[in-house]
Amino acid sequence: MLIYYRIESYVFVNVTVKSSLKLIYYRIERIQTPRE
């Protein structure tokens, strides 16, 4: 049970971190692109 919980939390953290990184990367890309 404990191992299962660890895996669940690990997956949750992984997904959260990945989505935040995507968001940050997207924002940086938008800032770098010159507005015309």
CA dihedral 5, 9, 11, 14 (to 10 degrees): -160
Each residue's pLDDT tens digit, 1-36: 677 788 889 999 999 999 999 999 999 888 887 766
> pTM for this one?
0.52
Query: Cα(8)–Cα(36) distance, rounded to whole angstroms?
Result: 45
Within 13 Å, how many C-alpha atoms sit on residue 5's CB side? 2
